[in-house]
Structure 1
Amino acid sequence: MKFVCLDCERAYRLEERRNPFVCDCGGLLEVRQDYRGLDGERLKLEFDNRLADRMSSWASGVWRYKELIAPELPDAYITSRYEGNTGLYPSATLAEFAGVRGLMLKAQSENPSGSFKDNGMAVAVSYGRSLGYRRFTCTSTGNTSSSLAMYAAWAGCSSYVFLPKHHISMNKVLQTLAYGAQVISFEGTYDDGIRFSELHSEQLGLYVCNSINPFRIEGQKSIVFEIAQQLRWQMPDWIVVPGGALSNATALGKGLYELKELGMIDKLPRVAVVQAEGASPFHQMVAQGDAQLKPVRNPYTRATAMNIGNPPSWKKALQYAIKYTKGVTVSVTDEEIMLAKDRIDRSGIGCEPASAASVAGLKKLAAAGIIDKECTAVCLLTGHILKDTEAIEALYKGTLAPSEAAPSVLHTPDLTLDEVRRFITEL
């Protein structure tokens, strides 16, 4: 294993770049592994055998794939809450809503802290511990911080979270505090916090666990490994993912690249990255054919997890998710996101607003003919329905409700049979 700069291709030994994982040229680093000698078919059998384990690190939906994620990490440093192992649910109703032949929902909301961040954070914290760190940090709009706080607490370490004051979900902040994180709340944006971490984390003795940490990407690859294993290595036509910091899009593309190189899958799905209109610099860059991303200075979307104007992983996402898989991008309005959220919630699974962007984006791409109606797709649900209860309250009070999502609450001073009968009949 080694670090390689995505910009200049300079290689480093892992111990040469401990924190914050930036090349001398300023480019972000990624982990590259030598897979020579690995037998893809043998690995499939081994991964299947590990499904029977329920108490060791093999019971994790991340560490089950250790050979493809962190082969050189000593087992003593593995930090795990049996993350991963999330459901893959087919839904005919949502497929009809989105306008495609088949749709499955990968519910990363079933992770222990309630979001997809756990897949990557388990690996980042484990590697940080192996380097001797006891204090971990991130800048976050919510899900990253709650995941980091959980793993740091589980490992007996401390966490320090830089949190923008505005456009965040209080549920996620409270979860972060409950796990014992020390929170630094500041005026400014997510991007301001990232810049501060890059400049000062090493002198503060803090190990950065944002998506600039390449081990986060390695852990998040397990999401697509698990999708492949759940589908018996027969992949869908498309995988659709919300795009905020773009670590998930990067990890999906990188994981697909490695599965194909190892001969573990025959078919390469295309990746669709969905951003909210108010925070869509990556989509704008791809749609306009620009070579460089132009940050959005004051991003805003009700889907707070996507409220990022300068995604740090954009170059990696461009290479792996867009160029390698012949992927696409799309932006959706908050209204389209909330409509999709309403449908997902009512399907019996539920999600936070940012998660619903995947289904909203699939619907928009299918309507435009970019995704064929005969295609099959997996949409990632990145966060739990209770991550943002303010959005649920607003939706069913009508302040955020699309016209198709009528509130279903009867307010009555006295229960009467006629009132209840009318309410039931009108639903």
Structure 2
Amino acid sequence: MKTEQKTTSTSLLHSLTCSVCKQSYPASELQTLSACCQMPLLASYTLDEPLSKAALCHREATMWRYHELLPVIQKENIVSLGEGFTPILQLHTLAGRYGFRELLLKDEGQNPTGSFKARGLSMAVSKAKEFGVKGCIIPTAGNAGVAMAAYCARAGMKAVVVMPRHTPKAFREECYWYGAEVHLVDGLINDCAAKAKALNADEALLDVSTLKEPYRLEGKKTMGYEIAEQLSWQLPDVILYPAGGGTGLIGIWKAFHELKSIGWLAPDVQLPRMVAVQATNCMPLVETFFGRQQNAQQYIGQSTIANGLAVPRPIGEQLMLQVLFESGGTAVSVSEEEMVRGMQELSRSEGLFVAPEGAALWMACRNLLDSGLIQPEEQVLLLNTGSGQKYMENVEGKY
């Protein structure tokens, strides 16, 4: 499926680099995992050209406002539903109750299709369109499949979604409405990945699994750009992120470094400590981070009400660990019962019906405050990844 793309417009995309051995690959050809190490490829940009923050004042309030630092070459190939530039909300009630100086929440549930997955799949489908791809396939815990189905429908492309049979009905039904072909599998997302590979044995479809192509990451990194811009080019002391596949965690960290490179973040701006939050039912990164296993390649996870956290063997494990160690952050897990309590507290105290993944962040934040790993005077940002609406089946009657 090696195809060439047209000549450049405003994107500063330069090349793709293997995340392990740093071998370079041409961005002008459709790429998946690196041929050298079979690991994720990272997009590189020509960051020495002057870019003005002032130009942002006149641009649309979507993730595409940062188009120079995004990989789509021709504007007509952008497949958009208005994703990005989600609000950062002050959690005044909870901050006062627990003694935080400033507690913030970036609400990705306000994206199209109800989650942050809209960013990555908008980008992946746009690049697929740019390369002339006719259809995409994805193994998913729920939200990514919905987003891919929507953007493929927008682009006029075939969509094949493979999800666990226990995925809440709302996710499955939405995929059907977008015209996707849906396959249900007994197991978790790693079992869905095996099924997707078998279904796509002829490679007629582009597999847009987490980090198995380079561009979902580029959509997700725009959360980092927005956090910086919305906070007047300063950064929080701590960012908590629900890490299943970890694309957003990796992407946000990548974005901060890119902003430093182009001078949009001052040299003296301190990068935040990044905290990866997982479910106690499925916490491979936590186990590796604390040295209880060498890596997650043999980890056995269980299902969780936070469907997006049920990723037992993430291909981006080493990249996530790199972010945590570089930032001086940590990895923590939260129980199912704590997630429900977090959903209750955010709903009743702040009027926010967040996904269980988002609730896990709040409970992790409370626990880290109690343990002294977060200080009351620090500015803390929670990144809620989606709306709680689609998880009703998982939490029915638990309010």
TM-score under structure 2 length normalisation: 0.90
Provide Cα deviations, 1:32-87, integer angstroms capped at 9, x if missing partner: 22211133xx1x2111221xxxxxxxx252111111122x5111101111111211
Moved more, 265-274 or 188-197: 188-197
Which whole-Å CA distance do the structure 1 matches of 2:163 and 2:396 have between them? 23
Code of the aligned partner of 1:13: P
The 3-state SS of whatever aligns with 1:275 is strand
The 3-state SS of whatever aligns with 2:341 is helix
Which whole-Å CA distance do the structure 1 matches of 2:197 and 2:118 have between them? 22
Map 1:9-408; keep pairs closer than 5 Å.
Answer: 9-18=22-31, 20-39=32-51, 42=52, 44-50=53-59, 59=60, 61-70=62-71, 73-96=73-96, 99-166=99-166, 168-197=167-196, 201=200, 203-212=202-211, 213-265=213-265, 266-288=269-291, 292-319=295-322, 321-346=323-348, 347-396=350-399
- Give the structure 2 partner of residue 405 of structure 1: none
Which whole-Å CA distance do the structure 1 matches of 2:174 and 2:278 have between them? 25
Which whole-Å CA distance do the structure 1 matches of 2:275 and 2:327 have between them? 9
The 3-state SS of whatever aligns with 1:36 is coil
Which whole-Å CA distance do the structure 1 matches of 2:357 and 2:57 have between them? 32
Evaluate the alpha carbon distance shift between residue 24 and residue 65 of structure 1 in structure 2; reply closer, same or farther with a 3 A threshold: same
Which whole-Å CA distance do the structure 2 matches of 1:332 and 1:236 have between them? 22
Code of the aligned partner of 1:259: L
Code of the aligned partner of 1:222: T
Provide Cα deviations, 1:213-272, integer angstroms capped at 9, x if missing partner: 220001111111111111111211111111111111111111112122223222311211
Code of the aligned partner of 1:64: R
Q: CA deviation at 1:369?
A: 0.6
Q: Percent identity?
A: 29
Q: CA deviation at 1:131?
A: 0.8
Moved more, 77-86 or 204-213: 204-213
Which whole-Å CA distance do the structure 2 matches of 1:394 and 1:295 have between them? 35
Evaluate the alpha carbon distance shift between residue 242 and residue 169 of structure 1 in structure 2; reply closer, same or farther with a 3 A threshold: same
Q: CA deviation at 1:318?
A: 1.9
Provide Cα deviations, 1:141-198, integer angstroms capped at 9, x if missing partner: 10000000111111121200011213x2221111111111110112232112224545
Aligned length in residues:
381
Q: Is the 8 A contact 1:60 1:80 kept in 2?
A: no
Which whole-Å CA distance do the structure 2 matches of 1:360 and 1:95 have between them? 13
Q: Is the 8 A contact 1:253 1:317 kept in 2?
A: no
Q: Is the 8 A contact 1:23 1:29 kept in 2?
A: no
- Give the structure 2 partner of residue 415 of structure 1: none
- Give the structure 2 partner of residue 55 of structure 1: none
The 3-state SS of whatever aligns with 1:389 is helix
Evaluate the alpha carbon distance shift between residue 97 and residue 208 of structure 1 in structure 2; reply closer, same or farther with a 3 A threshold: farther
The 3-state SS of whatever aligns with 1:183 is strand
TM-score under structure 1 length normalisation: 0.85
Evaluate the alpha carbon distance shift between residue 99 and residue 291 of structure 1 in structure 2; reply closer, same or farther with a 3 A threshold: farther
The 3-state SS of whatever aligns with 1:228 is helix
Runs of 5+ consecutive residues of structure 2 not aligned to the other structure: 1-13
Q: CA deviation at 1:300?
A: 2.4
The 3-state SS of whatever aligns with 1:104 is strand
Which whole-Å CA distance do the structure 1 matches of 2:164 and 2:396 have between them? 23
> RMSD between aligned alpha carbons?
1.9
Evaluate the alpha carbon distance shift between residue 209 and residue 98 of structure 1 in structure 2; reply closer, same or farther with a 3 A threshold: farther
Q: CA deviation at 1:358?
A: 1.3
Q: CA deviation at 1:376?
A: 0.9
Evaluate the alpha carbon distance shift between residue 374 and residue 195 of structure 1 in structure 2; reply closer, same or farther with a 3 A threshold: same
Which whole-Å CA distance do the structure 2 matches of 1:17 and 1:152 have between them? 17
Code of the aligned partner of 1:350: F
Q: Is the 8 A contact 1:238 1:375 kept in 2?
A: yes
Which whole-Å CA distance do the structure 1 matches of 2:50 and 2:201 have between them? 36
Which whole-Å CA distance do the structure 2 matches of 1:73 and 1:253 have between them? 23
Asked which structure has the greater CA Rg, the reply is 1
Evaluate the alpha carbon distance shift between residue 124 and residue 343 of structure 1 in structure 2; reply closer, same or farther with a 3 A threshold: same
The 3-state SS of whatever aligns with 2:20 is coil
Which whole-Å CA distance do the structure 1 matches of 2:220 and 2:301 have between them? 28
Q: Is the 8 A contact 2:185 2:191 kept in 1?
A: no
Moved more, 91-100 or 341-350: 91-100
The 3-state SS of whatever aligns with 1:84 is coil
